[in-house]
Amino acid sequence: MSAGPLTGPLTGRVALVAGGTGAIGRHVATGLAAAGAAVAVHCHRSAGTAAEIVRECGGGLAVCAALPGPRSADRLLSTVEAELGPVTILVNAAEPAGAVGVAAVADVEPGTLERHLDGVRAHHELCRRALPGMRAAGFGRIVFVSGALMARPMPGMGAYAAAKAAASVLTRYVAAEEGRHGITANVVAPGRVAEPGAEEPDDPALRELSEALRRRMALPRFPAPREVARTVVALVSPEFDQVTGQTVWLTGGEFTG
């Protein structure tokens, strides 16, 4: 099975992109492949989309797994290792299905927080399973795609932000604990992500949130998925081996003071 370009800064590395069929994950996968990595594109259900992205990458592996779940990360990583080799790059760009919505803490429906927290559990499972192989290789890169709402509250996003904050803190702990093994772990935290010229959300609450964020920005537009992905790809490159335990805010230079 083809493993991407023959040369590049990530040649010989195997990358797993969790949530690889999402808008950001797709661009992360193709960016890593362009840099020479063999890429496994993870999906929850959309196997056809994952296979399409693998073709865009010029090869690799499409693999579906419901995360979190009993030994689901073990099975996922074992499949990737058997097909491509040890995973030394882990990018988590996954979003819990059906978990995003605008609701005040007092109005959050039962089960909503649990669905958000599934993302934290999945991130922990993926890191726990990938880290031993990274230690053995003496090289590892972990990037968690978070959200800026974890640090600058906007009404109605408490459950989402709490889960993103928890997974981001977990990533910082990985950085502190694993640096001596040549492993870095960083967080990329965009605000709203949108293609240039994209229409505003239909949901009035989301549209109001979007407008409030834009008023606080220095730049004239939100970052596009491919721009977020470029930041992720940069953080896993060998040139950034001294960057760890950091959060890169992609919020258009918004003024928060």
Q: What is the pLDDT of residues 132-170, one digit of tens each?
A: 999 999 999 999 999 998 887 777 778 888 999 999 999
Pick the more confident residue, 70 or 233. 233
Partners of residue 186 on adjacent β-strands: 143
Residue 110: exposure state from Cβ atoms within 10 A (0-12, 13-18, ≥19): exposed
In a domain, 4, yes or no: no
Q: What is the pLDDT of residues 38-50, one digit of tens each?
A: 999 999 888 999 9
φ, ψ (nearest 5 deg) of residue 109? -75, 150
Q: Is 160 a catalytic residue?
A: yes
In the prediction, which pLDDT does 6 show? 53
Is 80 exceeded by the pLDDT of residue 26? yes
Residue 70: exposure state from Cβ atoms within 10 A (0-12, 13-18, ≥19): exposed
Q: Supply the mean pLDDT for the chain.
A: 90
In the prediction, which pLDDT does 3 show? 46
Q: Which residue among 72, 164, 173, 237 is the active-site one? A: 164
In the prediction, which pLDDT does 196 show? 87
CA-based nearest residue to 123, from 144, 148, 150: 144
In a domain, 78, yes or no: yes
Q: Is 78 a catalytic residue?
A: no
Distance CA 28, CA 195 (A): 15
Is 90 exceeded by the pLDDT of residue 203? no
Q: What is the CATH number of the domain that holds 37?
A: 3.40.50.720
Is 80 exceeded by the pLDDT of residue 253? yes
In a domain, 7, yes or no: no
Q: 23-34 and 47-57 are packed helices; what angle lies between their axes, rounded to 10 degrees?
A: 30
In the prediction, which pLDDT does 160 show? 86
HSE (CB half, 13 Å, CA atoms) of 160? Answer: 21
Tell how strand 140-145 and strand 38-43 pair up.
unpaired
Q: What is the pLDDT of residues 92-134, one digit of tens each?
A: 999 866 545 566 777 777 777 888 889 999 999 999 999 999 9
Q: What is the mean pLDDT of residues 66-95?
A: 96
In a domain, 1, yes or no: no
Number of domains making up the chain: 1
In the prediction, which pLDDT does 52 show? 97
The one-letter code for the residue type at 219 is L
Pick the more confident residue, 114 or 83. 83
In a domain, 193, yes or no: yes
In a domain, 207, yes or no: yes
Q: What tokens does 36 get?
A: 């020479």
The one-letter code for the residue type at 2 is S
Three-class SS state of 44: coil
What residue numbers bound the domain in which 57 lies?
14-250
Residues 40 and 16: beta-carbon distance below 8 Å: yes
Q: Which residue among 2, 46, 78, 160 is the active-site one? A: 160
Q: Is 146 a catalytic residue?
A: yes
Bond before 68 cis per omega within 30 degrees? yes
Q: What is the mean pLDDT of residues 229-250?
A: 96
In a domain, 209, yes or no: yes
